[in-house]
Chains A and B, each alone.
Chain A
């Protein structure tokens, strides 16, 4: 008996001893990933290579879901711990469970992820409050060639967000292979969009599991004149819904998306006594519809500061208008709701509108979670002058963003022009396209009278005028910066072109559609002498630029010059007597699909006049058009760097 007990004990001990290293050893999937032959040559700037990534999500009818993630990375540039970290957002609804990590060094030794290197970070700053945090796990020191693996489960409680999923491939990390799958309840369907990804296969599945396999996805280096990063994310969006159940909370149409958001907004915009009194006070003495509209819109834009309290449902549901009114602070949806309540008191119809201020959306996905911002649509009165404004849509609405202090009523923030927007309504939802911005509605003009002196110094009177959309931006800048700060910024702008720069006699002002700043400048050594040649730069308002687009490089990303705008510069140079321009009187002109530039230097009535006009039309050029863009960009830079040869007696 004793012998049997001892034998069993010994046997158990042997098994434990044999197995114990295995319990903590890297799992088989990671060991196999480590052995995967790397047949591609990663980009020299890529710090990691994603060898293998799987994301398996199971969605339940109530919107809760469970996701299992496995990821294997190879370290290409050691020492960069931040690049090999695993990072996942968490919140009261979303938790990470069973997180494990391993590091397999090049010598075969293994290291387990330590709890000391797992941290939850939830920093908040006064003015932005939210309940989400980021869970970060990493290995503090890694070497080139190390294999890092992570495995964890995400559990998300029921919520509407559970029906909408994003699978992201990091552009900063080349990926050999990634698989995303989503399992749905029987009868459910999906809408999906694949953005900025090639080599994607979508095998047909017998069960209600949809999966995407992404083959090699290269590293995308930072390239000059690229669209914003969020436009270029490599991402698969999935919206899940139950098609045949009218009672289902899932969302399959724009009307349902609108109704869901509408239900969160509708009660909140009901005006109470305080709102009514405030509306009457703000519009006291205003007789016309336009005057009342402007007064109320300006009040919410200017008097209610931006503070975002996005806790729980507060991420999607605005606070009641009366609370925002009392607090005098709120985020985009709070400000929109307050404005709607004020409008209601004076009889102006309006609707809340969802937009995405970060990137264009794909309308295939009928989900409210493709949007990240709220603005207001105002039903335009027939007599209103705002019918002619750039923010007016021919569907009789004028759109306004009460969050953006740089934008006047009648205009939109530049990033919103041409975007898709969803009106919130219980029955008559509209997905529309906001008006496009014409470059002529966002103008800056430089008017300069400049003198070149015999001692090679220069002086000039400069007037910078901003019109229409740009005027509001500049007016807001004036409001938030002292004269001294504005002069310091001008010094920063002009100092690269003018030596020993002095700025004097600064003044500025704003009117309805324009804003201007005026000042005198002086500088030394403006005329440069090289042997018998005398050179000066025609346009000191813009510093010399080298083209960032190089012909011999390849291009992966589209080319983007920003949102529509016009910049015009006119400089009238007075030269000393008997000095003449010996070379450089010329014109430059170039055009592409997203921009045009023209400049000329001529002599008119004894003055040398430099004129340039640059138009940015918005939009992008695909990488295939890169060579042509190189030519355009060179000319654009040449306009800014224009120089003239002077002949002096």
Chain B
């Protein structure tokens, strides 16, 4: 009897272990390496495909999100790499990406296969886990490994399985080395809901995908069927390596990538139409309780023109609402009462409390205009320094807000008092040139134009003296307008005068080639509308003597002329910050015994990208030099690159112009 009980219990326990979820999971997780084929070994360096040090033979990703409802998503990475050079061996060292702060690494396997058929397995001793960051009790762990046995002519492959509580939408396909084959299997999330519920929520749980910045076509298989897919399998061939170039769009915005996400079933056009309505509806709800705002607007009743009304409202919100996106709330108010940050659930709250975020300030401004019967709408845009808007991606991508006023059929004015130090006629540079989603209009995706170069003019006025020892001393003053002015003001927000001096010095020295300067005075940096003026002293430089002549390049003592676009080929577009104009005017006072022997000719260069003009004039006892440089547009495609390169080359060439002095007879 006893034996029978023990036997039965043993069977039960045994069955439990065999069929337990963990056991099942481990069984399913048995990974098998794919066969190494002769064609894998045939891969060699190939300049036509930019295969140099190493190449990813294939990358197979499984994005298993079916357990999303239970916070169980998995990412599996299986990558095979052909190593071709000594430098390529560095691909044997890998940091496992942190896709989610709560992720757990469930499995790491790897092996190196040498040409003579030897296989060296990745062991536990080659895997290193460490606390990367720890704040209070919160930790982020980092796992890395180094493949053993790697030579400059081998194949390495590894398999990593990561578990995380939510899904990760984006996969960057393009790497720093070529990818010959890419496969991504998305196991779509399954929800424990009825078909009726699924119909209600279809705008939020429909699987969507987007393939961006493509080099080759993407094929999509719907498994088991296109009507009711449970998995989507994406494959593409050959993706060339990413080439990092200066002055490019953000890297992750231009690399080839795949986005898989749950969202709307409708087309992009319809989706953004719905979002536009949502933006408008939200603004209406937010502005529903606006009694306090109406009281403020009553004081503007005497204003006649639309421009006056807009300007007054703009100044009012900037002056009367403390912007907590830029400043922390003071601890206490004027009456020494402690200020505790409260929620602002409506416009009246913002006005009552007297503070808000930049978006809340824009909402107040928008509603003020609306109360004054001006057709103003809330709008949202991406910061192009971080990412770019993709119309086909049907999810919220925006991180900046603004207000749009319609002037005519297709004419708009753009405002954003919520951005500190931003004058009324300006947009921050990082949302110029981007698409904005406007609330409550039919054509809801509108492009914000770039400002003109003339509005972003910096004027530098130099005063140099050459002494008898042929040492050049000087000082200069700077007047900034437009984006340069605002950028500096934002940088100096709330800084003490001493700190401002240092920050201005750092900012200005970047404009020059190896010239140190000291800031003597500055003004108008704490007011939105005022134009900043800065005065600096520059360090000395000795001039060059050849025989009985003295040479100097006037522009080598002025702002930098070096051409950053020295490469003749460009693979991607160029994105600079904003169009601008730089006006420089220099006076050189010569020593008494020296005269000008020769001056360069006035010269000008013009192309689509802009203009560069230099002028020289002899003035009694001295020399006057002027340079005007204009960049017409900050964004240039590959086709436009030669024009941009030519403009900056002209600036460099003019920068080499030499003035010849000699002793007076």
Contact = CB atoms under 8 A, between A and B. Distances in A.
A127 B150 CA distance: 13
Nearest to A488: B567
Contacts of B128: 124, 129, 309, 311
Contacts of A133: 131
Nearest to A124: B130
B649 A120 contact: no
Interface in B609-659: 649, 652-653, 656-659
The 5 nearest A-B residue pairs measured at CB: A531-B598, A126-B93, A495-B566, A127-B93, A120-B134
A532 interface: yes
A45 B499 CA distance: 10
Interface residues of B, number: 67
Contacts of B94: 126
Interface in B120-159: 120, 126, 128, 130-136, 142, 144-146, 148-152
Contact of A583 (B149, B549, B562, B653): B549
Interface in B74-107: 85-87, 89-90, 92-95
Given A305-B86, A552-B540, A491 B566 contact: yes
Given A120-B134, A533-B597, A584-B546, 9 more contacts: A77-B498, A79-B503, A120-B133, A125-B144, A309-B128, A496-B562, A525-B653, A528-B600, A532-B598
Interface of A: 45, 76-79, 115-116, 118-127, 129, 131, 133, 141, 143-144, 302-303, 305, 307, 309, 311, 326-329, 405, 479-480, 482, 484, 488, 491-492, 495-496, 499-502, 525, 528-533, 535, 544, 546-548, 550, 552, 583-584, 586, 634, 638, 641, 643-645
Contact of B599 (A531, A550, A634): A531
Contacts of B284: none
Contacts of A129: 128, 130, 144, 146
7 contacts: A122-B142, A126-B144, A129-B128, A327-B146, A480-B86, A500-B649, A528-B600
A639 to B, nearest CB: 12
B146 A307 contact: yes
Given A328-B148, A532-B598, A548-B514, A124 B498 contact: no
Interface of B: 47, 52-53, 85-87, 89-90, 92-95, 120, 126, 128, 130-136, 142, 144-146, 148-152, 328, 495-496, 498-499, 502-503, 514, 539-542, 544, 546-547, 549, 551, 556, 562-563, 566-568, 597-601, 649, 652-653, 656-660
A546 B134 CA distance: 47
B95 A643 contact: no
B568 A491 contact: yes
Nearest to B328: A141
Contact of A528 (B47, B150, B657): B657
A127 B85 CA distance: 17
A530 B149 contact: no
A638 B600 CA distance: 22
Contact of A127 (B86, B90, B149, B597): B90
Given A129-B128, A495-B563, A535-B551, A144 B496 contact: yes
A405 B567 CA distance: 29
Nearest to A502: B568
A266 B612 CA distance: 69
Nearest to B598: A531
Given A328-B149, A535-B658, A119 B600 contact: no
A123 B541 CA distance: 44
B142 A124 contact: yes
B135 A126 contact: no
A533 B87 contact: no
A187 to B, nearest CB: 41
Nearest to B596: A531
A635 to B, nearest CB: 11
A129, A482, A502: most-surrounded residue (chain B CB, <10 A):
A129
Nearest to B518: A44
B86 A302 contact: yes
A533 B498 contact: no
A530 B660 contact: yes
A217 B285 CA distance: 63
A484 B503 CA distance: 39
Given A131-B130, A550-B539, A126 B95 contact: yes
B566 A492 contact: yes
A529 B600 contact: yes
Contacts of A305: 86, 89-90, 92, 150
A583 B146 contact: no
A627 B132 CA distance: 49
Given A120-B134, A327-B126, A127 B146 contact: yes
Contacts of A143: 496
Contacts of B659: 530
Contacts of B151: 303, 328
A116 to B, nearest CB: 7
Contacts of B556: 544, 546
A119 B599 CA distance: 61
A583 B546 contact: yes
Contact of B598 (A126, A482, A530, A583): A530
A326 B130 contact: no
B549 A531 contact: no
A539 to B, nearest CB: 14
Contacts of A550: 539-540
A115 B136 contact: yes
A303 B151 CA distance: 6
Contacts of B514: 546, 548
A47 to B, nearest CB: 8
Contacts of A121: 132-133
Nearest to A530: B598
Contacts of A644: 546
Contacts of A144: 496, 498-499
Contacts of A126: 93-95, 144-146
A92 to B, nearest CB: 11
Nearest to B546: A584
B660 A531 contact: yes
A225 to B, nearest CB: 13
Given A78-B495, A122-B132, A327 B148 contact: yes
B660 to A, nearest CB: 5
Contact of B600 (A326, A530, A544): A530
Contacts of A328: 148-151
Contacts of A547: 542
B152 to A, nearest CB: 8
B148 A77 contact: no
B69 to A, nearest CB: 34
B334 to A, nearest CB: 16
Contacts of B657: 528, 530
B131 A118 contact: no
A204 to B, nearest CB: 43
A93 to B, nearest CB: 16
Nearest to B601: A529
B323 to A, nearest CB: 16
B132 A123 contact: yes
Contacts of A303: 151-152
Contacts of B130: 122, 124, 129, 131
Nearest to A118: B135
A641 to B, nearest CB: 6
A128 to B, nearest CB: 9
Nearest to B150: A328
A496 B541 CA distance: 20
A131 B145 CA distance: 15
Contact of B551 (A131, A531, A643): A643
B52 A482 contact: yes
Contacts of A533: 549, 597-598, 660
A329 B120 CA distance: 13
Contacts of B136: 115-116, 118
B618 to A, nearest CB: 11
B658 A329 contact: no
A328 B86 CA distance: 12
B556 to A, nearest CB: 8
